[in-house]
């Protein structure tokens, strides 16, 4: 059984999932998906040998200084919801991706995401599922992990 770190992204069927810690227990740094029978559309639970629960969710949370986003990928579709955006946020970037404060509306491009305001929701359908997976991976590369 493959082990995943808390906050790690992985592909399962047609979704990108994230391993998240059980809210009642913050001491564990790994979790494992035990197969299709344990999964639902939104969240997957997995019991550990010490009887604690960890979860897998398709509501991915991306956090960086001044910004917090919720991302969902299913197949070729990617949806982004802006949860937090500080007045000081201007942009974050690396050689793979850029998130910047947009002047008009939130928008998705192949190597960037423009954010206008909190509560904005933007969705985009990529030509292939792999391109959607790559987009999410490039966004999360901004975490520096």
| pLDDT tens, residue by residue, 98-115 | 999 999 999 999 999 999
Within this chain, do residues 68 and 118 fall inside the same structural domain, yes or no? yes
**Tokens linked to 54:** 């960890």
Average pLDDT, the chain: 81
Residue 13, domain extent: 3-57
Q: Are 41 and 27 in contact (CB under 8 A)?
A: no
Structural domains in the chain (count)? 2
Residues 77 and 136 in one domain: yes
Q: Check whether residue 91 and residue 40 sit in a common domain.
A: no
The H or E element that residue 72 is part of is strand 67-74
Higher pLDDT, 25 or 66: 66
pTM: 0.80
Tell me, yes or no, whether 16 and 81 share the same domain.
no
Contact 80, 71 (CB under 8 A): yes
Q: Which two tokens stand for residue 136?
A: 């999410």
Residues 36 and 80 in one domain: no
Whether 24 and 43 map to the same domain: the answer is yes
Residues 108 and 126 in one domain: yes
Are 115 and 85 a contacting pair, CB within 8 Å?
Answer: yes
Residue 135 has pLDDT above 90, yes or no: yes
């Amino acid at each position: 059984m493959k082990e995943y770190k808390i906050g790690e992204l992985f592909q399962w069927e047609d979704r990108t999932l994230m391993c998240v810690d059980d809210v009642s227990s913050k001491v564990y740094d790994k979790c494992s998906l035990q197969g299709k029978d344990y999964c639902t559309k939104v969240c997957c639970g997995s019991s550990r040998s010490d009887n604690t629960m960890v979860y897998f969710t398709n509501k991915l949370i991306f956090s960086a200084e001044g910004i917090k986003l919720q991302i969902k990928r299913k197949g070729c579709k990617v949806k982004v919801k802006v949860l937090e955006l500080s007045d000081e946020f201007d942009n974050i970037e690396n050689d793979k991706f850029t998130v910047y404060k947009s002047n008009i509306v939130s928008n998705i491009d192949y190597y960037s995401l423009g954010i206008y305001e909190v509560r904005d929701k933007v969705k985009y359908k990529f030509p292939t599922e792999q391109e959607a997976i790559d987009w999410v991976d490039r966004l999360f590369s901004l975490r520096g992990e």
